[in-house]
């Protein structure tokens, strides 16, 4: 399918694989989508700015880059920044079309329904989009696709009016009569208000006046502040809604000065906010911000998980605002058709954006129209290189499933550097633009939104799975059953039943089956290997103390939810594997206890201590906490054994007290990710010893599950015995 992408200050049409329907979502074949002339054009322009200008606009990111350069080096930082800036981004957030598929759990939308949709994270300028149910609304029969495609803009305008709380007979000023201002003026008139509009474009003043606006003011013709005072009998406006976009602070100051005492000013547009106390203090004005489409916006529970707000308590959510906008249009209260001034076929998207960027008069509302064909509905794979890829001798042909930040920042760059071992054949991702952009960036043959394409591909030897945690075990088992070797990012599983299924797969004739490697990369770091070599000949058990100053992650982040399983299962499992690696022993007892935070800022599973007893007599303790400062090093390991103390600091330096030791240190932390890939490749080529024995992978996962059970239970239940199996 075709989708509009943005990079380097330019828009272009790209062929990308179509998305697949998922639970709680609706798949829509777009008929029309609406270009947001303000928001989108600003976004396009910003992607073309040189780095120094972006830095001036976002100084908070400069420190992050400088810190990265100090820790990772200039070359790595330069490469990372360049990659981030060259990413092709989707654009668009409002459209209308026909439903072509409905996900599980959606029972009030059917295939063939005419719907409008919104959301900058999903309602892209694309032939087919996948939209969560709460961001989809049915269209009245007498409303056309072109008008309905403005549903997001309509909801934004409606939320601005709701924030202003207009009452019959009040006088409101609308500053900025672009499409948002035009809709706002009509909504205020529908509320029984008298409306004054202010704009620099005389044509927009005329259009708004023809649709019911009472007065139109051009700043060149009259002092707009004094004229508002004249119109209101010297009292001032009851309220002002700012729908203009400008970096100037003057717009807000003007709005305040137009108001009567105790009036309200609502900001919808993007303007300068250097507020002057004298403008609003004496009048005791209310200054309100309107957040996009309404309650629910930016709430993942509402937008992504389908959790609606009860109507008696939240009368107007973003979804209900969208519905009401279409209803008012259907009844004739709102005239949107006259605002649609330009429609471009999707194939002419570059011309559409050029016209919007050009100097001079611009269209009030520009739409993109899509061909209505079912030809691409099921195309989930896009070939990027027509030439067949031939693997060099010894190369392993690999697919990456899941193109998130870790895969793009770690695995994929390493694969490119390890071309003597690997050939990247495919990239699979939930979103077509991400799959395609990532595949092109790292030289894959094709991109797909259906991971099963990679499992069925006879030219793929192995897969790297880097999806969210709750999918790991299922995808790994599918890949193994398809005969693919698997490098699975940790954790191996979130449930015991998933571990049992993997264990059962290997129960008979393990040697003849594909290799499974859980991404416990720390054991492959040069530091862990040096420690393992030093303790291999020990004469006594060890005491191992590991401290992970993990840093705080907000509780609404996915790692804390069902997709992530929490930070013990998702990250601490790394350390349980490291303990298993260094002792080479089986665990016989697990003890754990979490603190109970006094406030809701921290999760209980973020702050705990776990102690493991091994059958060789060694005892290992992990202190995992989000309470500390990120300015302090994240990880430290101390091992007490045979009269020595081994200290590992953040995988940057290793010291040994009590014995001769060759210094080992590096400028950047080396946690073994690249070495892990090399071991994976060599094990596949050798066809014998696994980089991590299966029993150790299962043990580390089961330790994590045991710790999770213990830290989630009452304090009296702090230990779990293990058998000798």
**CATH class name, domain 391-519:** alpha beta
What is residue 718's predicted lDDT score, i.e. its pLDDT? 60
Domains 160-289 and 391-519 share a fold: yes
E strand segments, 187-285? 194-198, 215-217, 237-242, 259-267
* Whether the predicted pLDDT of 720 surpasses 90: no
What is d(CA 130, CA 716) in angstroms, rounded to the nearest whole number?
A: 47
Which CATH number is 522-721's, of 3.40.50.720, 3.40.50.300, 3.30.43.10, 3.30.360.10? Answer: 3.30.360.10
What is residue 376's predicted lDDT score, i.e. its pLDDT? 53
Task: Give 251-279 pLDDT, tens digit per residue.
Answer: 999 999 999 999 999 999 888 888 889 88
> In CATH, what number does 2-150+300-369 get?
3.90.180.10
Task: Give 181-211 pLDDT, tens digit per residue.
Answer: 999 999 999 999 999 999 999 999 999 999 9
Task: Give 463-503 pLDDT, tens digit per residue.
Answer: 999 999 999 999 999 999 999 999 999 999 999 999 999 99
pLDDT band at 317 (very low <50, low <70, confident <90, very high): very high
* Whether the predicted pLDDT of 691 surpasses 70: yes
Q: What are residue 102's phi and psi, to 5 degrees?
A: -130, 130
What is residue 244's predicted lDDT score, i.e. its pLDDT? 93
What is residue 22's predicted lDDT score, i.e. its pLDDT? 96
Structure tokens at 542: 């060890």
Q: What are residue 310's phi and psi, to 5 degrees?
A: -60, 130
SS3 (DSSP) at 410: helix
**Across the beta sheet with 89-90, what order do the strands follow?**
10-15, 2-7, 89-90
What is residue 724's predicted lDDT score, i.e. its pLDDT? 46
What is residue 77's predicted lDDT score, i.e. its pLDDT? 61
What is d(CA 36, CA 91) in angstroms, rounded to the nearest whole number?
A: 10
* Whether the predicted pLDDT of 55 surpasses 80: no
Domain boundaries, the chain: 2-150+300-369, 160-289, 391-519, 522-721
Contacts of 282 (CB under 8 A, 6+ apart): none
What is d(CA 9, CA 667) in angstroms, rounded to the nearest whole number?
A: 36
- What is the mean predicted confidence (pLDDT) over 353-373? 84
The answer to whether residues 601 and 557 touch, using CB atoms and an 8 Å cutoff, is no
**Across the beta sheet with 653-657, what order do the strands follow?**
664-665, 653-657, 644-649, 635-641, 543-549, 619-625, 608-614, 587-594, 719-721
> Positive or negative, the Cα torsion across 328, 334, 339, 342?
positive
Least confident of 175-184, 189-198, 347-356: 347-356
Q: Where would I find the H helices in 483-620?
A: 496-505, 526-535, 567, 573-583
What is d(CA 13, CA 681) in angstroms, rounded to the nearest whole number?
A: 37
The answer to whether the peptide bond before residue 276 is cis (omega within 30 degrees of 0) is no
What is residue 393's predicted lDDT score, i.e. its pLDDT? 74
Share of the chain above pLDDT 90, in %: 77
* Whether the predicted pLDDT of 387 surpasses 90: no
Least confident of 11-25, 37-51, 589-603: 37-51
- What is the mean predicted confidence (pLDDT) over 705-716? 83
What is residue 716's predicted lDDT score, i.e. its pLDDT? 45
Task: Give 509-534 pLDDT, tens digit per residue.
Answer: 777 899 999 999 999 999 999 999 99
- What is the mean predicted confidence (pLDDT) over 274-302? 92
Contacts of 318 (CB under 8 A, 6+ apart): 118, 134, 135, 155, 159, 292, 293, 294, 295, 296, 297, 302
What is residue 42's predicted lDDT score, i.e. its pLDDT? 62
Element (H, E) at 476: helix 472-481
- CATH topology for 160-289 is Rossmann fold (3.40.50)
**Residue with the larger pLDDT of the pair 343 and 716:** 343
Mean pLDDT of all residues belonging to the chain:
91
Q: What are residue 719's phi and psi, to 5 degrees?
A: -140, 155
What is d(CA 582, CA 603) in angstroms, rounded to the nearest whole number?
A: 30
Nearest-5° Cα angle at 416, 61 to 69: 25
What is residue 357's predicted lDDT score, i.e. its pLDDT? 78
Closest to 211 measured CA to CA, from 326, 336, 361, 365: 336
Q: What are residue 192's phi and psi, to 5 degrees?
A: 80, 25
The answer to whether residues 186 and 153 touch, using CB atoms and an 8 Å cutoff, is no
- What is the mean predicted confidence (pLDDT) over 358-376? 80
Quick count: other Cβ atoms within 10 Å of Cβ 356?
A: 18
pLDDT band at 85 (very low <50, low <70, confident <90, very high): low
pLDDT band at 360 (very low <50, low <70, confident <90, very high): confident
Tell me the three-class secondary structure of 4-60, residue by residue: EEEECCEEEEEECCCCCCCCCEEEEEEEEEEECCCHHHHHHHHHCCCHHHHHHHCHH
Contacts of 364 (CB under 8 A, 6+ apart): 37, 178, 179, 182, 204, 207, 339, 341
Least confident of 41-45, 49-53, 547-551, 602-606: 49-53
Share of the chain above pLDDT 70, in %: 91
- What is the mean predicted confidence (pLDDT) over 147-156? 97
**Residue with the larger pLDDT of the pair 41 and 12:** 12
The answer to whether residues 476 and 502 touch, using CB atoms and an 8 Å cutoff, is yes
* Whether the predicted pLDDT of 135 surpasses 90: yes
Q: What are residue 265's phi and psi, to 5 degrees?
A: -120, 130
The answer to whether residues 691 and 678 touch, using CB atoms and an 8 Å cutoff, is no
DSSP letter for 514, please: P
**Residue with the larger pLDDT of the pair 382 and 518:** 518
What is d(CA 208, CA 212) in angstroms, rounded to the nearest whole number?
A: 7
* Whether the predicted pLDDT of 8 surpasses 90: no
* Whether the predicted pLDDT of 228 surpasses 90: yes
- What is the mean predicted confidence (pLDDT) over 280-291? 93
* Whether the predicted pLDDT of 63 surpasses 70: no
What is residue 388's predicted lDDT score, i.e. its pLDDT? 56
Task: Give 531-585 pLDDT, tens digit per residue.
Answer: 999 999 999 999 999 999 999 999 989 999 999 999 999 999 999 999 999 999 9
SS3 (DSSP) at 196: strand
What is residue 52's predicted lDDT score, i.e. its pLDDT? 44
């Amino acid at each position: 399918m075709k989708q509009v992408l943005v990079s380097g200050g330019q828009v272009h049409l790209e062929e990308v694989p179509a998305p697949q329907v998922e639970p709680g979502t609706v798949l829509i074949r777009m008929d029309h989508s609406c270009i947001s002339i303000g928001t989108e054009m600003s976004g396009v322009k910003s992607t073309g700015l040189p780095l120094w200008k972006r830095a001036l606009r976002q100084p908070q990111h400069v420190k992050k880059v400088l810190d990265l350069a100090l820790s990772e080096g200039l070359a790595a930082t330069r490469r990372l920044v360049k990659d981030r800036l060259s990413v092709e981004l989707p654009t668009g957030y409002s459209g209308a079309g026909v439903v072509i598929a409905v996900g599980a759990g959606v029972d009030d939308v059917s295939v063939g329904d005419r719907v409008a949709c919104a959301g900058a994270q999903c309602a892209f300028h694309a032939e087919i989009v996948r939209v969560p149910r709460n961001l989809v609304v049915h269209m009245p029969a007498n409303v056309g696709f072109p008008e309905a495609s403005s549903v997001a803009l309509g909801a934004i305008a409606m939320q601005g009016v709701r924030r202003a709380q207009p009452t019959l007979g009040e006088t409101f000023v609308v500053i900025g009569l672009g499409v948002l201002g035009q809709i706002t003026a009509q909504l205020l008139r529908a509320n029984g208000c008298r409306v004054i509009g202010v704009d620099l474009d005389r044509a927009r003043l005329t259009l708004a006046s023809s649709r019911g606006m009472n007065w139109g003011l051009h700043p060149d013709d009259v002092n707009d502040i004094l004229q508002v005072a004249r119109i209101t009998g010297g009292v001032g406006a009851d309220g002002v809604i700012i729908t203009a976009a400008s970096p100037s602070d003057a717009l807000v100051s003007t709005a305040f000065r137009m108001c009567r005492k105790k009036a309200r000013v609502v900001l919808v547009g993007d303007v300068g906010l250097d507020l002057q106390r004298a403008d609003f203090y004496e009048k005791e004005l209310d200054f309100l911000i309107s957040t996009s489409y309404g309650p629910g916006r930016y709430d993942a529970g509402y937008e992504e998980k389908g959790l609606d707000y009860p109507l008696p308590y939240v009368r107007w959510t973003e979804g209900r605002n969208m519905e009401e906008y279409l209803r008012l249009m259907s009844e004739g209260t709102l005239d949107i058709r006259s605002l649609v001034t330009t429609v471009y076929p999707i194939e002419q998207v570059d011309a559409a954006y050029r016209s919007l960027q050009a100097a001079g008069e611009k269209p009030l509302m520009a739409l993109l129209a899509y061909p209505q064909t079912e030809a691409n509905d099921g195309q989930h794979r896009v070939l990027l290189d027509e030439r067949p890829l031939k693997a060099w001798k010894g190369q392993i042909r690999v697919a990456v499933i899941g193109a998130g930040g870790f895969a793009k920042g770690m695995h994929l760059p390493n694969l490119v550097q390890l071309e003597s071992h690997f050939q990247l054949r495919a990239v699979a991702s939930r979103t077509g633009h991400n799959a395609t952009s990532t595949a092109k960036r790292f030289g894959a043959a094709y991109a797909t939104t259906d991971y099963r394409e990679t499992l069925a591909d006879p030219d793929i030897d192995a897969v790297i799975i880097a999806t969210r945690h709750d999918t790991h075990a299922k995808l790994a088992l599918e890949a193994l059953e398809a005969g693919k070797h698997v490098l699975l990012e940790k954790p191996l599983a979130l449930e015991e039943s998933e571990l049992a299924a993997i264990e059962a797969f290997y129960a008979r004739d393990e040697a003849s089956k594909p290799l499974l490697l859980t991404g416990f990369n720390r054991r492959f770091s040069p530091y862990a290997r040096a420690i393992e070599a030093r303790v291999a000949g020990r004469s006594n058990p060890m005491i191992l103390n590991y401290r992970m100053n993990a840093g705080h992650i907000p509780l609404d982040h996915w790692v804390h939810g069902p997709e992530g399983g929490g930070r013990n299962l998702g990250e601490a499992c790394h350390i349980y594997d490291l303990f298993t690696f260094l002792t080479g022993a089986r665990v016989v007892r697990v003890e754990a206890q979490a603190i109970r935070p006094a406030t809701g800022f921290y999760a209980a599973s973020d702050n705990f201590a776990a102690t493991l007893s091994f059958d060789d007599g060694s005892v290992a303790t992990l202190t995992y906490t989000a309470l500390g400062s990120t300015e302090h090093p994240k990880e430290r390991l101390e091992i007490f054994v045979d009269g020595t103390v081994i200290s590992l600091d953040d995988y940057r330096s290793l010291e040994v007290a009590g014995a001769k030791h060759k210094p080992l240190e590096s400028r950047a932390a080396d946690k073994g990710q690249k070495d892990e890939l090399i071991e994976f490749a060599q094990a596949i080529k050798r066809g014998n010893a696994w980089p991590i024995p299966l029993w150790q992978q299962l043990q580390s996962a089961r330790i994590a599950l045991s710790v999770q059970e213990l830290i989630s239970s009452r304090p009296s239940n702090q230990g779990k015995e293990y058998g000798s199996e």
